Chains A and B, each alone.
Chain A
Amino acid sequence: MKILEAKKITKMFPGVVALDSVDVAFEPGEIHAIIGENGAGKSTLIKCLTGVYEPEEGIVEIGGENAMKNKSLFDKIAYVPQEIDLFTYMSVAENLFIPYEKSGVKGTVNQKELEKKAIPILKKFSIPVNPGDMVGDISVSSQQLLQIARATVHENYDVLMLDEPTTSLTTRDSKILFEIVEKIKAEGKAIIFISHKLEEIFQLADVITVFRNGKKVAYSNLKDVDTNWIIKQMTGRELDQNEKFYSTQVSDEVLMEVKGLTGERFTNISFSLKKGEILGFSGLVGAGRSELMQAIFGYLPVYKGSVKVDGKDWKLGDTNYSVKHGFIYLPEERKRQGILPVLSIRENISISVLDELKSGINISQKKEEELAQNVIETYDVKTPGSDKKIQFLSGGNQQKVIIGRAMASKPKLLVFDEPTKGIDVGTKTEIYRLMKKLAEEEGLGIIMISSEMEEIIKCSNRVITLYEGKISGEFSEHTEQQDILGAIIGINS
């Protein structure tokens, strides 16, 4: 019996076929993983299945009925978006039940009653907060779990759709989440699980559907396939799982020397970075890694300590100075701090090198376009043209544009903050290769902050771990994952 089924759906946007005659079906009591590269059509599929988009062709059936004709059927799909969209200044209980009609709260809203009703739900999802707590004050992990809890509050849902639910979760909380998902599965609900993390998919899902370029390319039981099969289906080519990306051209010259740096979220940090080296920074979310790098970069204040680059004192607290002197920071919060969303790809690239594009006082459009085309080709950005607004690109392509922009200003020091967040396996590998190439061929010093242990081990020449704002370990390449993990959670090895 199929509870949710898409039949031959096609969805088009100007110039692009986002979904091309896709058939996919979901059954109760089954965890169905959906995977594909960025831009493969997953998001469009989700939007068609939740009734946000209407496909040009084909229909969506829910419980055997045509949902195109009866929109209320879409209420049976509980969707949990990737990004947290809770009301920060409202209580946990209020967030859980809003809008109140859907969750069976009738008439006037009674705060006490709401909080009472919230308790069993919080217990079921093991969320360690009180119903009266302000959502802005609870941890990101709890928020993520709360968001899932909220989707399941209205009783008559049949399908639970989880879009990258673990991006903000710690390993411990991911485990809790998986237990809950198993429970919901046992209740006979259909679960759709969208994730880039293959490990999790193997751990949790029963069946998998793979998308590529708007088409469904494969469907299988998970117990019949392995990682290589999935990657091959996704990318259309084989990837070497054991490929390493650390730099083989580390120079003896020290590029940056940090001594005794103290700021708001980090204390007494000292380390050095060599030219041509990739230095990994690992740690838990909130360990102070981003804050440390942003402080060195000049974005956040430094209370104490000094930084030398090429043996000279480095001016702190001035991003303009940093950029001018070849230090570029690629932020984790790409949407908020990286891209200029409503500007074109061309304008996003040229913004950091406008001085070089000038003819007289004027910006030369010709030179600007040349630069943009160059970046698009060199970094293999998938776009119809340089005029497209950057916000319409997929995350991976945005990241490529930002790297291209950074490289256009010929830096000597690059900080990548979570460079592959929200990026698919194939593109990830491309970005690793790019980092390696920059370090080896251009002699750049690269610092990579990452929460993914695998990528830290694959890419770093050395790894420094932070725990609660202090350095808790330093490891050379080939260190075992276990040792690094210990340092991350504060266990001295």
Chain B
Amino acid sequence: MSKENTKQKSGNAFVSALKKSNMTAMAAILIVMIIIASVISPYFLDIYNLQSVLRDLAFIGIIGIAQSLLLLVGELDLSVGKIACLSGILSGMLMVNVGINPWMALIIGLFLGFLFGFINGIIITRLRLNSMVATIGMQGVYGGINLVITKGKAVTGIPADIQFLGKKALGPIPIPFVICIIVLVLVLFMIKKTKTGRYIYAIGNSKEAAKILGIKVDRIRVMIYSVVGLLSALAGLLYVCRLGSAQTAIGEDWPMNSIAASVIGGISLTGGVGNPAGALIGAAVITIIQNIIVLFGVNSYWQSAVSGIVVVLAISFSSISNIVRENRQKRIKLN
């Protein structure tokens, strides 16, 4: 009798493993959301609407994937939005005010983002600071530099020949989303297939153990901060291309949205657990909720409350199903 029980359980092991993974659960919820949305609103599957959702999703997605790398080592960066914005502004000024080749300016902008991230990393590792507090401080610094050089004014007149990066589509798929997917593939390759990726998970499991294993913990942490800076700049620059102007308030919601997207996608806040692909799924959940709320015509005063409720429901899904299962088992046994 007892043996039979065991067998039955191991037979379902695969299913239960899938159930346990937040990422797959979230992907299922995402699909359900898409189905509901397309049944209720005839406009959801409208090609224009899908394109604009994918375009929005690309930005939270890129930042979320970047943020997930830091979450994997148990840290986070709240300055991603300001880095994105400042890189965009500086790059825009190089194009417009200095007049250098826009492609060159984009590359410089990416490099600047990398540099800002590198500075974050050096400060946090050398001075042994808490990443959250340190990056709250640094976002003030980057935001402040932004204000000093722009006085809050946008940089307009971004050359038309690079605006397609934000505005156009490759076939039906908006270019920012294509870039987001390329970023995801590269990050997944690094995280799953290379030595560095393994080291990232090891550091997230235990920084002390990683150091005792001879892993250059601080060097890898600095590298991740730099990559996060680079990806933030990438998202910021794409947004500049999308708007055709470098604005000073870009990225305000990005730090929180990127963390939310990662956590919704099953990445642990304490490090060591999760898959960056989850961040993209989380980003999709957030973006689609915001889209269908408007499509369904929810009163605009209610929007933030409704989207909040949906997010909480979505992340509760997997734990609720666990609770239900436990209760059912209990009832069976007591009878």
Q: Do A and B come from one complex?
A: yes
Nearest B-chain residue to A387, judged by Cβ: B17
Q: Are A343 and B212 in contact (CB under 8 A)?
A: no
Distance A15 CA – B3 CA, assembled complex (angstroms): 9
Nearest B-chain residue to A327, judged by Cβ: B214
Distance A12 CA – B6 CA, assembled complex (angstroms): 7
| A319 at the binding interface (Cβ < 8 Å) | yes
| B153 at the binding interface (Cβ < 8 Å) | no
Known contacts A17-B6, A56-B333, A320-B215; 11 additional CB pairs below 8 A are A15-B9, A56-B2, A56-B5, A57-B2, A319-B213, A321-B214, A337-B208, A340-B209, A342-B272, A343-B205, A358-B195
Q: Produce 1/0 per residue, B8-19, CB < 8 A to A.
A: 011001001000
Interface of B is mostly: helix
Q: What is the CB-to-nearest-CB distance from A242 to chain B, in angstroms, rounded to a whole number?
A: 35
Distance A210 CA – B13 CA, assembled complex (angstroms): 32
A297 contact set on B, CB distance < 8 A: 212
A341 contact set on B, CB distance < 8 A: 205-206, 272
Nearest A-chain residue to B12, judged by Cβ: A14
| B235 at the binding interface (Cβ < 8 Å) | no
Distance A341 CA – B206 CA, assembled complex (angstroms): 8
Q: Count B interface residues, CB 8 Å.
A: 29
Q: Are B209 and A338 in contact (CB under 8 A)?
A: yes
| A489 at the binding interface (Cβ < 8 Å) | no
Given A14-B13, A15-B9, A337-B206, residue A329 in contact with residue B193 (CB < 8 A): no
Distance A149 CA – B132 CA, assembled complex (angstroms): 39
B211 contact set on A, CB distance < 8 A: 299, 319
A331 contact set on B, CB distance < 8 A: 208-209, 212
Distance A342 CA – B272 CA, assembled complex (angstroms): 7
B273 contact set on A, CB distance < 8 A: 342
Distance A29 CA – B79 CA, assembled complex (angstroms): 63
Q: Produce 1/0 per residue, A338-370, CB < 8 A to B.
A: 111111000100111011001001110000000
A351: contacting residue among B9, B16, B202, B208, CB under 8 A:
B202
| B300 at the binding interface (Cβ < 8 Å) | no
| B44 at the binding interface (Cβ < 8 Å) | no
A319 contact set on B, CB distance < 8 A: 211-215
Given A14-B9, A337-B206, A342-B205, residue A351 in contact with residue B198 (CB < 8 A): yes
Q: What is the CB-to-nearest-CB distance from A423 to chain B, in angstroms, rounded to a whole number?
A: 19
B13 contact set on A, CB distance < 8 A: 14-15
| B142 at the binding interface (Cβ < 8 Å) | no
A352: contacting residue among B6, B9, B194, B213, CB under 8 A:
B213
Q: What is the CB-to-nearest-CB distance from A324 to chain B, in angstroms, rounded to a whole number?
A: 7
Distance A340 CA – B200 CA, assembled complex (angstroms): 11
Max chain A CB contacts within 10 Å: which of B211, B272, B273, B330?
Answer: B211
Distance A340 CA – B199 CA, assembled complex (angstroms): 11
Q: 5 A-B pairs, CB-CB below 8 angstroms?
A: A56-B5, A331-B209, A336-B206, A342-B205, A363-B194
B199 contact set on A, CB distance < 8 A: 351
Identify which of residues 1-58 in chain B touch chain A, using a CB-to-CB cut-off of 8 Å.
2, 5-6, 9-10, 13, 16
Distance A358 CA – B194 CA, assembled complex (angstroms): 8
A322 contact set on B, CB distance < 8 A: 214
A209 contact set on B, CB distance < 8 A: none
| A38 at the binding interface (Cβ < 8 Å) | no
Q: Produce 1/0 per residue, A28-71, CB < 8 A to B.
A: 00000000000000000000000000101100000000000000
A138 contact set on B, CB distance < 8 A: none
Q: Are B213 and A362 in contact (CB under 8 A)?
A: no
B-side interface residues toward A, CB under 8 Å? 2, 5-6, 9-10, 13, 16, 193-195, 198-199, 201-202, 205-206, 208-216, 272-273, 330, 333
Q: Are B213 and A363 in contact (CB under 8 A)?
A: no
Max chain B CB contacts within 10 Å: which of A14, A340, A354?
Answer: A340
| A323 at the binding interface (Cβ < 8 Å) | yes
Distance A57 CA – B208 CA, assembled complex (angstroms): 42
A15: contacting residue among B6, B202, B210, CB under 8 A:
B6
Q: Are B5 and A12 in contact (CB under 8 A)?
A: yes
Distance A381 CA – B283 CA, assembled complex (angstroms): 41
Q: Are B194 and A362 in contact (CB under 8 A)?
A: yes
Q: Are A352 and B2 in contact (CB under 8 A)?
A: no
Q: What is the CB-to-nearest-CB distance from B331 to chain A, in angstroms, rounded to a whole number?
A: 13
| A10 at the binding interface (Cβ < 8 Å) | yes
Chain A, interface size category, equals 35 or more
Q: Produce 1/0 per residue, A91-111, CB < 8 A to B.
A: 000000000000000000000
Q: What is the CB-to-nearest-CB distance from B317 to chain A, in angstroms, rounded to a whole number?
A: 22
Q: Are B2 and A12 in contact (CB under 8 A)?
A: yes
A299 contact set on B, CB distance < 8 A: 211-212
Q: Are A324 and B212 in contact (CB under 8 A)?
A: no
Distance A347 CA – B333 CA, assembled complex (angstroms): 38
B9 contact set on A, CB distance < 8 A: 12, 14-15
B212 contact set on A, CB distance < 8 A: 297, 299, 319, 329, 331, 337-338
Identify which of residues 273-330 in chain A touch chain B, using a CB-to-CB cut-off of 8 Å.
297, 299, 319-324, 329
Distance A323 CA – B205 CA, assembled complex (angstroms): 19
Q: Are A340 and B205 in contact (CB under 8 A)?
A: yes
Distance A197 CA – B273 CA, assembled complex (angstroms): 37
A363: contacting residue among B195, B208, B209, CB under 8 A:
B195
Distance A10 CA – B3 CA, assembled complex (angstroms): 11
Given A14-B9, A351-B202, residue A339 in contact with residue B209 (CB < 8 A): yes
A12 contact set on B, CB distance < 8 A: 2, 5-6, 9
A56 contact set on B, CB distance < 8 A: 2, 5, 333
A14: contacting residue among B10, B206, B216, CB under 8 A:
B10
Q: What is the CB-to-nearest-CB distance from A416 to chain B, in angstroms, rounded to a whole number?
A: 13
Max chain A CB contacts within 10 Å: which of B206, B215, B330, B333?
Answer: B206
Q: Are A343 and B202 in contact (CB under 8 A)?
A: yes
A321 contact set on B, CB distance < 8 A: 214
Nearest A-chain residue to B6, judged by Cβ: A12
Q: Are B6 and A343 in contact (CB under 8 A)?
A: no
Nearest B-chain residue to A55, judged by Cβ: B333
Max chain B CB contacts within 10 Å: which of A320, A324, A339, A351?
Answer: A351
Distance A116 CA – B310 CA, assembled complex (angstroms): 52
Distance A320 CA – B209 CA, assembled complex (angstroms): 12
Q: Are A354 and B214 in contact (CB under 8 A)?
A: no
B206 contact set on A, CB distance < 8 A: 336-337, 339-341
Q: Are A336 and B209 in contact (CB under 8 A)?
A: yes
Distance A14 CA – B8 CA, assembled complex (angstroms): 9
Distance A54 CA – B333 CA, assembled complex (angstroms): 10
Q: What is the CB-to-nearest-CB distance from B196 to chain A, in angstroms, rounded to a whole number?
A: 9
Q: What is the CB-to-nearest-CB distance from A295 to chain B, in angstroms, rounded to a whole number?
A: 13
A54 contact set on B, CB distance < 8 A: 330, 333
Nearest A-chain residue to B210, judged by Cβ: A340
Distance A3 CA – B146 CA, assembled complex (angstroms): 73
Closest 4 CB pairs of A and B: A323-B214, A340-B205, A354-B195, A337-B208
Q: What is the CB-to-nearest-CB distance from B47 to chain A, in angstroms, rounded to a whole number?
A: 38
A324 contact set on B, CB distance < 8 A: 214
Nearest B-chain residue to A355, judged by Cβ: B195
Q: Are A343 and B201 in contact (CB under 8 A)?
A: yes
Nearest B-chain residue to A384, judged by Cβ: B10
